[in-house]
A and B are shown apart, each in its own frame.
Chain A
Amino acid sequence: MNVTVDRERCCGAGNCVVLAPEVFDQRDEDGTVVLLDPTPPEALAGSVGEAVDQCPGRAIEAYDIRP
């Protein structure tokens, strides 16, 4: 699984950090998203999917590039 984030769209709600703390963090200075792991393991697909779904700024994309 591959994950990308768009800091311009991020509104710092912090839901992704609560749902998938292994993958997302927030910058101390303004709370915008920090991507800790752009290729998280499949075991985290569920929580990353929830983070995508619950991001109020639609700032996170997750996709699977395997054939």
Chain B
Amino acid sequence: MTAPDVRAAAPDYPAKRDAACPFAPPPVLRALAEEAPLSRVTIWDGSTPWLVTGHESQRALLGDERVSVDEHRAGFPLFSQAMRDTLEHRPAMVFNLDGAEHRRLRKILTRAFTAKRVQALRPAIQRITDELIDAMLAGPKPADLVTSLAVPLPSLMICELLGVPYEDRDFFQERSAVGVGGTASAEESGASMQALTEYLIGLVRSKKETPGDDVLSDIAERVTAGELSEVEGGLLGLQALVAGHETSANMIALGTVALLRHPEQLALLRDTDDPAVVATATEELLRYLTIPQVGQRRIATADIEIAGEVIREGEGIIIDLPTGNRDPDVFDAPEALDLRSPQGRHQAFGFGPHQCVGQQLARAELQIVYGTLFRRIPTLTPAVEFDEIEFKHDALAFGVHALPVTW
């Protein structure tokens, strides 16, 4: 297919990755990105929103006040028919509010994720990581790295942050894995989400009486102040769970797959105890893998001139972060995984007022896991052939369903 054809065709989005190079964005999106920073794609309902692949254009639009996340506006590029069907019943959330309303809700969460609070969590993250690795080493070989480490670590940290009591953590972890893990049926997943929502609403209620130093207590305080209802408070906690659970888990497991495929890069992490080296390596893995794979969805609330095009008021916009993070105008050798190369400008966490609120926690978890796993288990190796690894091609965030490893 020649390049002008691919633009004229407004190809389907999301697109399929090449199974032979699963870490790279889908070939058809790369072809679009090579042609221009903005193009058109066709989504499930037949509409043709803008697709933004250029890094600078992504940055500009994600930070532009004329670009809205309000999914209730006509023309918003929704993810699916299921999203349209539930549109009227979906409450206002951090994900679908703009401006002052968004800031009000976000600030309840930001308090828990400050750089200082995350710094203070590092010893706990390290301890849990070591305990999970101990348990894996004591168990049978091969082990599944996803269920042994990648899923439980972020899940336990979210429990810690939200303030889920110890005795409820098994229930919470199990329901989270089913609810947002992406492997259960829609019915099972829906039932788990319902159970979690009810549980979190109940927990907000009890934190009103007996607060602790945690996010649900912060939320409960706003409920008592009359700023939020108990249901809104429980949903806010659920959003923190959904956004932070699967994403970090996917990055832990997928990052490990990528490193096992690049042994010379893995050696760098295995042989260092310098936190600065690990931090730079983590940013490069975030850039190289950029796991959100269904696009950041937006709509223009005014005409916007950008990169020689005009996005009209009411037109849908999809920002594809993985292609932007391989933009050769911004990154030298973007196709290579080079853990020594500082890649501070990557947008794996997005940009603008909706940039990931939990990013410092994610960074801390990833730095500790990548900095610990290969030093503790220098002989770590996949227990299956690379082409037998099942990748999450259809999930919201890219990852692997399982990663059998041995040592």
Which residues of A line the B interface, CB within 8 A? 11-15, 17-18, 21, 25-26, 28-32, 50, 53-54, 56-58
Q: Which of A25, A26, A28, A54 contacts B345 (CB 8 A)?
A: A54
A58:B63 contact, CB within 8 angstroms: yes
Give the shortest distance, in Å, between A5 (CB) and chain B (any CB): 15
B355:A11 contact, CB within 8 angstroms: yes
Residue of B nearest to A26 (CB): B114
What secondary structure prevails in chain B residues at the interface with A? helix
Give the shortest distance, in Å, between B399 (CB) and chain A (any CB): 23
A11:B110 contact, CB within 8 angstroms: yes
Interface presence of B352 (CB below 8 A)? yes
A30:B111 contact, CB within 8 angstroms: yes
Give the shortest distance, in Å, between B402 (CB) and chain A (any CB): 32
Residue of A nearest to B350 (CB): A56
Give the shortest distance, in Å, between A40 (CB) and chain B (any CB): 17
Q: Which residues of A contact B110 (CB under 8 A)?
A: 11-13, 26, 30-32
- Give the one of B63, B349, B355 with max A CB within 10 A: B355
Which residues of B line the A interface, CB within 8 A? 62-63, 103, 106-108, 110-111, 113-116, 118, 344-345, 349-357, 359-360, 363
A31:B113 contact, CB within 8 angstroms: yes
Q: Which of B62, B107, B349, B350 contacts A31 (CB 8 A)?
A: B107
Residue of A nearest to B59 (CB): A56
- Rounded to whole angstroms, the CA-CA distance of A29 and B147 in the bound complex is 35
Q: Which residues of A contact B114 (CB under 8 A)?
A: 12, 14, 17, 26, 28, 31
- Rounded to whole angstroms, the CA-CA distance of A56 and B360 in the bound complex is 14
Whether A13 touches B357, Cβ cut-off 8 Å, given contacts A26-B114, A26-B115, A26-B116, is yes
Q: Which residues of A contact B63 (CB under 8 A)?
A: 56-58
Q: Which residues of A contact B355 (CB under 8 A)?
A: 11, 13, 56
* Besides A11-B106, A56-B62, 7 new A-B residue pairs in contact (Cβ under 8 A), listed by A number: A13-B357, A14-B114, A14-B118, A26-B115, A32-B107, A53-B344, A54-B345
Q: Which residues of B contact A17 (CB under 8 A)?
A: 114-116
B107:A14 contact, CB within 8 angstroms: no
Q: Which residues of A contact B357 (CB under 8 A)?
A: 11-13
Give the shortest distance, in Å, between A56 (CB) and chain B (any CB): 4
Q: Which residues of B contact A18 (CB under 8 A)?
A: 115, 360, 363
Give the shortest distance, in Å, between B10 (CB) and chain A (any CB): 30
B344:A54 contact, CB within 8 angstroms: yes
- Rounded to whole angstroms, the CA-CA distance of A54 and B303 in the bound complex is 26
Q: Which residues of B contact A11 (CB under 8 A)?
A: 103, 106, 110, 352-355, 357
Give the shortest distance, in Å, between A19 (CB) and chain B (any CB): 8
- Rounded to whole angstroms, the CA-CA distance of A49 and B115 in the bound complex is 19
- A-B contacts, 5 listed (Cβ < 8 Å): A15-B359, A17-B116, A26-B115, A29-B111, A31-B110
Q: Which residues of B contact A53 (CB under 8 A)?
A: 344-345
B352:A57 contact, CB within 8 angstroms: yes
Q: Which of A13, A21, A30, A50 contacts B344 (CB 8 A)?
A: A50
Residue of B nearest to A53 (CB): B345
Residue of B nearest to A14 (CB): B115
Q: Which residues of B contact A58 (CB under 8 A)?
A: 63
- Give the one of B114, B344, B353 with max A CB within 10 A: B114
Give the shortest distance, in Å, between A36 (CB) and chain B (any CB): 13
- Rounded to whole angstroms, the CA-CA distance of A26 and B116 in the bound complex is 8
- Rounded to whole angstroms, the CA-CA distance of A32 and B109 in the bound complex is 11
Whether A12 touches B345, Cβ cut-off 8 Å, given contacts A17-B114, A17-B116, A18-B115, is no
B353:A56 contact, CB within 8 angstroms: yes
Give the shortest distance, in Å, between A57 (CB) and chain B (any CB): 6
Q: Which residues of A contact B354 (CB under 8 A)?
A: 11
Q: Which residues of A contact B116 (CB under 8 A)?
A: 17, 25-26, 28
Give the shortest distance, in Å, between B330 (CB) and chain A (any CB): 12
- Rounded to whole angstroms, the CA-CA distance of A36 and B366 in the bound complex is 28
B352:A12 contact, CB within 8 angstroms: no
- Rounded to whole angstroms, the CA-CA distance of A11 and B97 in the bound complex is 14
Give the shortest distance, in Å, between B216 (CB) and chain A (any CB): 16
